[in-house]
Chains A and B, each alone.
Chain A
Amino acid sequence: MSANQFKSPVVRWIDHRLPVFSMLHHTAHDYPTPKNLNYMWNFGSLAGLSLAIMIVTGIVLAMSYTAHVDYAFDSVERIMRDVNHGWMIRYIHMNTASFFFIVIYLHMFRGLYYGSYKAPRELLWMLGVVIFLLMMATAFMGYVLPWGQMSFWGATVITNLFSAIPYVGESIVTLLWGGFSVDNATLNRFFSLHYLMPFVIAGVVVLHIVALHRFGSNNPIGIDTKGPQDTISFHPYYTIKDVFGIAVFLLLLAMVVFFFPNAMGHPDNYIPANAMQTPAHIVPEWYFLPFYAILRAVPDKLGGVLLMFGAIAVLFILPWLDRSPVRSARFRPLFRIFFWLFFVNAIALGYLGGKPAEGIYVILSRVATAWYFLHFLAILPILSMFEITKPLPKSISEPVLKGNSKRAGPLGAGLEPAE
């Protein structure tokens, strides 16, 4: 690390005493990265960007927002109408939240497909699940702050879930509320915690990246890098690729923010909260819908709560459920089929979560919930024991030399270093 020679004497003086420049150089400049990463590897940096956007816009919004039941709704409207550019900052904040979840789901599906959760990256995966949980908590509390009808009733429904816990459930709910229903005490503490959590997320993200850098990134063929012929420096290759990814992300975000800003929200949240009147259909934000579907699929209240949290718990233990030594789905034809089935099922769960709990939707929700758990608890373990995988290439460089990295060719000519 101290071998790095910076040109500027100022930079050298600082770095000698606080090696931040060396560290950045090692982490993001010279850092060897597999040369065959595809665009599914862009979502990590996009998630980091989303977090940064949320924090900056959030801090700015907090300058004009009032966390009191009598003023919250109107303070948001004041931001939309009177604060300079307030409408834009608010729309960016609420839509980047949705984009953050899109990016994170794609990031997670990438991990599932390519086996990024497998040894030695189990802890990296688990830290990711922790970040996901923190994101869900942050988003849930953030949605309450505008104090619209959905804010209030979503908060009421979700906090009421904890009453399902035997014996202590009611006391816990009272503790969460700070009163006998969702009211000012609840709103105030949600504001405080909503401001806090993104910084906790940032801290866990740092751990996530440290864990990543321990063994380096996984790659589409799931084979460890064998040497310098398999890697390229992060800068300039992946910096410019990330810049392109960011450009696409921002373009899509701008299209939504400026032309469809309320498409992913619910009109009922433009109605001030009314404790005496429940909206016809209480729906959480779209990114919670799959878990909402699982919650409602179980006729028993406690069962639904346990299964909903179980759906995330099962992600934690994934590295021990799928023990196949082959990482990437590219070489696991059966696993690949089940992966896509799981993906379609997840979309279905999301769709069903937005439907009223009536008629055929109930049956379909139960089938989809069962399939979700079946996939993790039965299919993956069985597959890892009995699946016949395709032969793996010898190294990353090899299929690249052959010109077709999708087919898993067997051996091939000797390893030649990439120029």
Chain B
Amino acid sequence: MIKQFSIVMISLFLTAPAMAAGGDVELQKRDWSFSGPFGTFDKASMQRGFQAYREVCAGCHGMKLIAFRNFADLGYNNDEIKAIAAEYEVQDGPNDDGEMFMRPGIAADRIPSPYANDNAARASNNGALPPDLSLIAKARGNGPDYLFSLLAGYKDAPGGTTVPDGMYYNAAYPGHLIAMPQPLYGEDVTYSGDADDSIEGISSDLVQFLMWAAEPKMEVRKRIGVAAVFFLGIFVVVSYMAKRRVWADVH
């Protein structure tokens, strides 16, 4: 009886999120290096993703939960982090005159957002609000696949679909009409070395970076998880054997 209960219950809520996502959106499923119980982030790809974010996305999208000191996860050392931070201007203050002022960033600062607030963002984007990307990979069902499909999903609208002014057709976006113009066309970012700079290549790098940004602790989580499941697996066996031993005289 227990088995029946458990199997039904567990399979029910593991499929619940999939059941909730709907529509006829096209989702391209990819193999991500961070998938699975032993998944890890691809540091080189994340660095390229950060570069792509800075050059393509940061004009409209903030990432205010990420601090420059977090970039140690991407493989940058302290001096590199200081240098990256110093390229940004952040607001500080008030000074002794009571005024706010701008100063170069330090490692402890968070990435400054392009707009002072949501209203300013909407005013500059025809009323649409470009979301902050810190958590976007967790804030959408099937996050990584969805984001990849979205970036690569701009195509001509199928016959019969009217696309209003200021909107664009996207195969992966729910409802298919998105306010963001196509951000990538290929070769949008000049990578050092011979990394793939096609739409797929850049999108893949961005997804690595964004997945890390949404959950920087993922690698630690999976590492501890392997140890915990291993330990508990043994504990299940040992405790069962102990139970049978103690109950031997009753059975």
Interface residue from A106, A243, A254, A267 paired with B243 (Cβ < 8 Å) = A243
In the complex, A260 has a CB within 8 A of chain B? yes
Q: Once bound together, how far apart are the Cα atoms of A250 and B232, in whole Å?
A: 7
The A-B contact count (CB < 8 A) is: 123
Q: Once bound together, how far apart are the Cα atoms of A244 and B242, in whole Å?
A: 8
Q: Once bound together, how far apart are the Cα atoms of A77 and B235, in whole Å?
A: 33
Interface of B is mostly: helix
Interface string of B1-43 (1 = CB under 8 A from A): 1100110111011101101100000000000000001000000
In the complex, B130 has a CB within 8 A of chain A? no
In the complex, A237 has a CB within 8 A of chain B? yes
* Contact A283 B250, beta carbon cutoff 8 Å: no
- What is the minimal beta-carbon distance from B121 to any residue of chain A, in angstroms? 13
Segment from A80-88, A117-125, A152-160 that makes contact with B: A80-88
Interface string of B208-251 (1 = CB under 8 A from A): 00000011110011101110110011011001101100110110
- What is the minimal beta-carbon distance from A256 to any residue of chain B, in angstroms? 9
Segment from A19-27, A170-178, A346-354 that makes contact with B: A346-354
* Contact A88 B246, beta carbon cutoff 8 Å: no
Interface residues on B, range: 35 or more
Q: Which residue of B lies closest to A110 (CB)?
A: B1
Which residues of chain A have C-beta atoms less than 8 A from B13's C-beta?
98, 263-264, 286
Which residues of chain B have C-beta atoms less than 8 A from A326's C-beta?
none
Segment from B86-94, B98-106, B135-143, B195-203 that makes contact with A: B135-143
Interface string of B67-104 (1 = CB under 8 A from A): 00010000000000000000000000000000000000
Q: Once bound together, how far apart are the Cα atoms of A106 and B4, in whole Å?
A: 11
Given contacts A263-B13, A267-B138, A347-B12, contact A81 B228 (CB under 8 A): no
* Contact A354 B20, beta carbon cutoff 8 Å: yes
In the complex, A93 has a CB within 8 A of chain B? no
In the complex, B65 has a CB within 8 A of chain A? yes
Which residues of chain A have C-beta atoms less than 8 A from B65's C-beta?
74, 77, 81
Centre residue among A91, A259, A281, A418 by max chain B CB count within 10 A: A259
Given contacts A113-B1, A258-B225, contact A354 B243 (CB under 8 A): no
* Contact A258 B242, beta carbon cutoff 8 Å: no
Which residues of chain A have C-beta atoms less than 8 A from B20's C-beta?
266, 281, 283, 354
In the complex, A270 has a CB within 8 A of chain B? yes
Q: Once bound together, how far apart are the Cα atoms of A153 and B140, in whole Å?
A: 17
Given contacts A81-B65, A237-B246, contact A87 B221 (CB under 8 A): yes
Given contacts A264-B13, A286-B13, contact A259 B250 (CB under 8 A): no
* Contact B221 A267, beta carbon cutoff 8 Å: no
- What is the minimal beta-carbon distance from A328 to any residue of chain B, in angstroms? 12
Interface residue from A81, A283, A418 paired with B216 (Cβ < 8 Å) = A81
Interface string of B139-172 (1 = CB under 8 A from A): 1110100000000000000000000000000000
**10 new A-B pairs (CB below 8 Å) besides A77-B134, A113-B1, A254-B229?**
A39-B2, A77-B135, A87-B220, A88-B221, A105-B9, A232-B250, A247-B236, A266-B17, A271-B135, A286-B13
Interface, chain B (partner A; CB < 8 A): 1-2, 5-6, 8-10, 12-14, 16-17, 19-20, 37, 65, 70, 131, 134-135, 138-141, 143, 174, 214-217, 220-222, 224-226, 228-229, 232-233, 235-236, 239-240, 242-243, 246-247, 249-250
